[in-house]
Structure 1
Amino acid sequence: MNHTINGLVKRPSLALLGTEPLRAAFELARNFLASPRPSKPGDGHPVVIFPGLGADGHSVATLRDHCRKLGYDAFDWGQGFNTGPQGDLDAWLQALKLQIEGLLSKHEQPATLIGWSLGGLYAREVSKLMLPRVRQVITIGTPFNADADHTNAGWLFRLLSSSSTTLDPLLSRRLRTPPPLRTSSIYSRSDGVVAWQSCRHNRRSRLVQDIEVEGSHIGMGWNREVLDVVTDRLGQGPGLWRPYAKAS
């Protein structure tokens, strides 16, 4: 059964949620059996990957290795398990920003920040604090555009607000505002954890694109379509931003 929230956005059905593990396993097998797609060598710029809630660097290993094989210096956020923001949100984000700057200290090129689920909120908010050290942000199944609990997990609202059902309007507006740089949001209508509508931007912009794929939420880190999108986004040099077009 779907649950309508605010009369506009529905949580994913319990059927979708229940089939998440099976669909994620299928996506993993599909990626393992697929032939590598040809691509131009990367320019070596750093790529920082933020895992989802309750996950660590192991969960993004496939994505990280994929970026490295393309020729980028990819690594996870280096903080172990993602247990959510601790204490004051702004102070926590400032501390995270300093930690990421430390990871990037040996690099001269601006970085790409990639965040999966809750990690995507980190990538978006930290990028706003690190301009011009960041060249672009890519989020994967990240519900940044929400003002009520549009998930089947409830983590966003327990972590970011004192209410389990709604977000403070100012915080909600802040989270849905994209960083002032190239931003891609990858989402799936068959996501069983977060409402796909909450992963899309309200306003179109030359710097923002929402990209739909087919897949589960917990399998997005190794989903073949997701990896193709990441390949395309990383391959665009400074000043060469263009909309993503799925290869035929």
Structure 2
Amino acid sequence: MLEAAPKGDGRPVMLLPGLVNSDFSMAIMRRYLNRLGYRAVGWGLGRNLGARAIGAEGGKLLAQVAKLHGQTGETITLIGVSLGGIMARFVAHRMPDAVREVITVASPYAGNPRATRVWRQFQWLTGESLNNPDVIARRMEIVKPLPVPATAIWSRSDGLVNGLICRAPDEPGLRCIEIRSGHLGVQVRPQTLRAIADVLGGVAR
């Protein structure tokens, strides 16, 4: 199934890991996409500890995307898992001219962040309170329709987050793909990898 996926066109792809995870957690996806013919890279910011990793107002992450955009001379496809997907949407809002499209995987961006089993851990690890006005304003920005093509891959059986808030069905142009997977390890599931390959290859689902 994975080998039968459409081949890549060499476009640059940046992979953003989930909470607490690093580029290591995205290694299988990165190798798979590179084997298909894309230029997939990690985000290069260590463990994803929210603002502690990406800097104030996402400055470090925005700089990484701008750097890859400058090096390749092409717009960047962003693929983010869980918190990484939320960050990918943030970048696309802030840098639409540098982003080609966004694919989120199990990213609970479209509803109350307390509709997860890890919101307390999120606050502790990132140092950001969900009641902080800046955090609330950023969340409101992220949920707005993106200015670039977007896909949300989600699961009803997620287990850690409410799968129904991992997509916004009313978002114009948003492609929603339901898979069957738990939250942990969703980025290495064959169904997830094939769904991403199909999106990148322009295959209708």
Mapping of 1:85-234 within 5 angstroms?
A: 85-86=51-52, 91-154=56-119, 155-156=121-122, 159=126, 162-163=129-130, 170-205=137-172, 207-234=173-200
Cα deviation for residue 125 of structure 1 reads: 0.4
In the alignment, the residues of structure 2 paired with residue 235 and residue 83 of structure 1 have an alpha-carbon distance, to the nearest angstrom, of: 31
Question: What RMSD, in angstroms, separates the aligned Cα atoms of the two structures?
Answer: 2.6
SS of corresponding position for 1:187: strand
SS of corresponding position for 1:86: helix
Partner of 2:10: 44
Please say if residues 19 and 122 of structure 2, whose CA atoms lie closer than 8 Å, have aligned partners that are also in contact.
no
- Please tell me whether residue 80 in structure 1 is matched to residue 46 in structure 2: yes
The code of the aligned residue for 1:233 comes to V
Q: TM-score, normalised by structure 2?
A: 0.88
Query: CA 1:111/1:98 → structure 2, altered by over 3 Å: closer, same or farther?
Result: same
Cα deviation for residue 145 of structure 1 reads: 1.0
Cα deviation for residue 88 of structure 1 reads: 10
- Work out the number of aligned pairs and report it: 203
Structure having the higher helix fraction is 2
The code of the aligned residue for 1:145 comes to A
Structure of greater relative contact order (alpha carbons < 8 Å, 6+ residues apart): 1
Larger radius of gyration: 1
Cα deviation for residue 133 of structure 1 reads: 1.6
Cα deviation for residue 37 of structure 1 reads: 3.1
In the alignment, the residues of structure 1 paired with residue 53 and residue 184 of structure 2 have an alpha-carbon distance, to the nearest angstrom, of: 27
Percent identity for Structure 1 against Structure 2 = 31
In the alignment, the residues of structure 2 paired with residue 132 and residue 194 of structure 1 have an alpha-carbon distance, to the nearest angstrom, of: 31
Partner of 2:28: 62
